[in-house]
Amino acid sequence: MHTRTEQLLGADAVERLRTSRVALFGLGGVGSFTAEALARAGVGHLLLVDGDNVASSNLNRQLVALHSTLGQPKADVMAARIRDISPAVRVDARRAFYLPENADDFDLAGFDYVIDAVDTVAAKVELAVRARAVGVPLVSCMGAGNKLDPARFEVADLFATSVCPLCKAMRKALKARGVTALTVVYSRETPAVACRPPGSVSFVPAVAGLILAGVVIRALAAGGRDQPQASQGT
């Protein structure tokens, strides 16, 4: 299955991916694309966490959303899809929303990487604090809603970002918790509209999700758990 990947990354990198463990929180328009990219790249063990069920409003942008999956748990749908892509991947699906109140239920220490694709500031902050405490690298996605230009996404340190309102809220909250660095995927695009819940389109969150996956796959293939060097542009 991984012949083409091995041609690009090499056999040693493919083996490192096979033995890697990644925890992914959030399986919506961003996270569902992240999950599939990780599986297709050959990451051997995935923890998928999402407490939501597939809704008709998800059909415009989420891989888990089909008319045949409406009403089903996103974690279960994504796990089944990954097993169909690659039965060799060990997939643990958790039907849960990650919250500060249940953070103790998730032991991050055993993972090589943690990915934050959740929606709420409280959950994002808690994930960043917990991952830092156990020395596991984390990459976090900032706002992908109300955006129209996927080319504006960048990988950067949170404390060097601008424009994004979610980044601003995260900087304030994390600084109060003693966290002064965090790799994020974010956009400097000014929101096209201001609405709640955010407007969305098929091609923007998907790109953010694939960039998240790329950050993690490249780091794991290189053989380290070190936080990636943030860079401007994609």
For 74-101, the pLDDT digits (tens) are: 999 999 999 999 999 999 999 999 999 9
Interval 164-213: pLDDT, tens: 999 999 999 999 999 999 999 999 999 999 898 999 999 999 999 999 99
Query: Tell me, what's the pLDDT at 225?
Result: 57
The model's pTM is: 0.95
- Predicted local confidence at residue 229, as pLDDT: 46
Measured CA to CA, the distance from residue 166 to residue 170 in angstroms comes to 6
Average the pLDDT over 214-232 and give the result: 75
Class of domain 3-221: alpha beta
Say how far apart CA 40 and CA 78 lie, in whole Å.
13
**Domain locations in the chain as residue ranges:** 3-221
Distance in angstroms between the alpha carbons of the first and the last residue of the chain: 27
Contacts of 232 (CB under 8 A, 6+ apart): 154, 156
Residue 96: exposure state from Cβ atoms within 10 A (0-12, 13-18, ≥19)? middle
Gap between the Cα atoms of 195 and 198, Å rounded:
5
Distance from C-alpha of 139 to C-alpha of 125, rounded to nearest angstrom: 12
Question: What strands lie across the sheet with 21-25, from one edge to the other?
Answer: 90-94, 45-49, 21-25, 113-116, 138-141, 183-187, 153-157
Q: What is the pLDDT of residues 114-150, one digit of tens each?
A: 999 999 999 999 999 999 999 999 999 999 999 999 9
Q: Which pLDDT does position 232 carry in this prediction? A: 40
What confidence category does residue 231 fall into, taking pLDDT thresholds of 50, 70 and 90? very low
Average pLDDT over residues 12-27: 98
Q: What is the pLDDT of residue 112?
A: 98
Side chain identity at 168, as an amino acid letter?
K
CA separation for the pair 16, 116 (Å, rounded): 22
Position 224 scores a pLDDT of 67
Neighbours of 74 (CB within 10 A): 29
For residue 69, count other CB atoms closer than 10 A to its CB.
21
pLDDT for 227: 52
The predicted structure's pLDDT at residue 161: 97
Token couple for 200: 């969305």
